[in-house]
């Protein structure tokens, strides 16, 4: 046999229901905020990764452009099928205040010297890129 609730019991039950509903809503709000924060962190991490990849690509592109400006005697002899003594290249590099860079070569322990295109043009009138033509 079910007894009827008194007015106070009914109000107390309503109050407990409202408190439980508010607690559930607060839990849901916190969960949504947490999920949004996790999403923001994930987005920020993805943007950072993309930014780092872009910086690395730009750096490699710059290095590639630099590599096109410099050539070793070995490379130029292979491109132009003739010999190029290194001494005039060194003299022109010093006269033009151009750095002489090192490049890895498995045949030489310390690598090989590479000379700037301006030194190649001044010493021999040739370009470091085979497709480029002298003006």
**pLDDT tens digits, 105-132:** 888 888 899 999 999 999 999 887 766 4
Q: Cα separation of 119 and 84, whole Å?
A: 12
Is residue 55 one of the residues assigned to a domain? no
Is residue 3 one of the residues assigned to a domain? no
Task: Provide the number of structural domains found in the chain.
Answer: 1
pTM higher than 0.75: no
Is residue 83 one of the residues assigned to a domain? yes
Is residue 20 one of the residues assigned to a domain? no
Is residue 101 one of the residues assigned to a domain? yes
Is residue 118 one of the residues assigned to a domain? yes
Tell me which residue range forms the domain holding 112. 71-124
């Amino acid at each position: 046999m079910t007894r009827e609730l008194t007015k106070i019991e009914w109000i107390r039950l309503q109050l407990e229901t409202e408190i439980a509903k508010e607690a559930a809503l607060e839990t849901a709000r916190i969960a949504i905020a947490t999920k949004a924060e996790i999403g923001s962190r994930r987005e920020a991490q993805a943007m950072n990764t993309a930014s780092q990849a872009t910086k690395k690509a730009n750096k490699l592109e710059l290095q590639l452009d630099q590599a096109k400006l410099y050539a070793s005697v070995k490379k130029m002899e292979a491109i132009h099928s003739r010999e190029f003594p290194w001494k005039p290249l060194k003299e022109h590099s010093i006269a033009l205040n151009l750095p002489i860079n090192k490049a890895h070569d498995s045949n030489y322990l310390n690598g090989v010297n590479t000379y700037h295109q301006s030194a190649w043009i001044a010493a021999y009138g040739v370009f470091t890129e085979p497709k480029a033509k002298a003006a």
